[in-house]
Amino acid sequence: MLEKITAAFNLLIDNELRTTCGTWHLKCNISAPMPFHSFKALKKITSRTDSALLHAFKDDEFDQIYPASVSALSTCHWSPVNVCRMAAQFLVTDPGTRVLDIGCGPGKFCVIGATTTQGHFTGVEQRKRLVKTACELVECHQIPRVEIRHGNITQINFREFDAFYIFNPFQENIMPALRIDYDVELEPQLYTDYTAHVQQQLMRMPMTTRVVSYCGDDGEIPACYACEKTAFTGKLKLWVKKHPAPAYASAAQSYSKENSRDIPVGVGPFALA
């Protein structure tokens, strides 16, 4: 009986994900967010013996490098290995290309990017526990060219970077079923504000700046970027800044109703002058 109820619940959530977030990459088997105390029981990443997992092609192998409570979130929240590899290849054009992962979780994309390309990968993550896991992974395996920062995307200077990776960082705010834990505040307005903030920052980047988005509705991508390549049946997209930012980029209340990807910029708590 319990199994039937669980199956029905998952089907319901699955349908919700498919309709509300049509491009969500895989069926997510949603369970209740992890309570605070469960995180305290996280296995520390200390063993050097499983370094081979870093180079695994399969997610169920790579994810074993994480504590069980973090790998359990992988299907829904962390990019698949083959997506990380291709995204990194799209973004790194020269040795040392500086890539920012916007909301890096436990650092899966950064670590795979750094072990498969010559780029430098920085991840910013608002959840302290995921930052700790990512840092332990990087330190334990002495992975070069990875930096993990604890903080909010609004504290990041985008000009430090050449390229950006975006996998649905703000979706949790509008889809409570996707909540990772209760460590951070979530609310629909934050989705709008963070998306607008990222869009505004990307708009101001130099021409030829590269962004890769995976799934999501691409609300962060300004209209001055063009989609140059896709992979994984269109779910992975490489965007390149092709046009100068429109004159209204720094003006408040500039909202183009013609372009559905544009959302109000220069407004909200994080707007820059």
- What residues make contact with ligand SAM under the rule CB under 6 A? 77-79, 101, 103-105, 108-109, 124-127, 130, 152-153, 167-170, 180, 194
| Distance in Å, CB of 186 to ligand SAM, minimum | 9
**Cα separation, 30 vs 7, whole angstroms:** 11
- For residue 102, the cross-strand partners are 124
The SS3 call for residue 158 is helix
Residues in contact with 29: Cβ distance below 8 Å, sequence separation at least 6, in sequence order: 10, 75, 76
Question: How far lies 45's CA from each of 51, 137, 167, in Å?
Answer: 11, 6, 24
| Distance in Å, CB of 181 to ligand SAM, minimum | 9
| Distance in Å, CB of 179 to ligand SAM, minimum | 10
Residues in contact with 157: Cβ distance below 8 Å, sequence separation at least 6, in sequence order: none
Two tokens, residue 96: 């040392």
| Distance in Å, CB of 258 to ligand SAM, minimum | 28
First to last CA, the chain: 58
Residue 154's nearest CA partner among 204, 196, 91 is 196
Residue closer to ligand SAM, measured from CB, 56 or 242: 56
Residue closer to ligand SAM, measured from CB, 97 or 133: 133
Residue closer to ligand SAM, measured from CB, 65 or 104: 104
Two tokens, residue 12: 């319901």
- For residue 153, the cross-strand partners are none
| Distance in Å, CB of 111 to ligand SAM, minimum | 10
| Distance in Å, CB of 250 to ligand SAM, minimum | 22
Residue closer to ligand SAM, measured from CB, 129 or 141: 129
Residue closer to ligand SAM, measured from CB, 108 or 132: 108
Nearest-CB residue for ligand SAM: 103
- The beta strands (E) that lie in 40-196 are given as 98-102, 120-125, 146-150, 163-167
Residue closer to ligand SAM, measured from CB, 75 or 254: 75
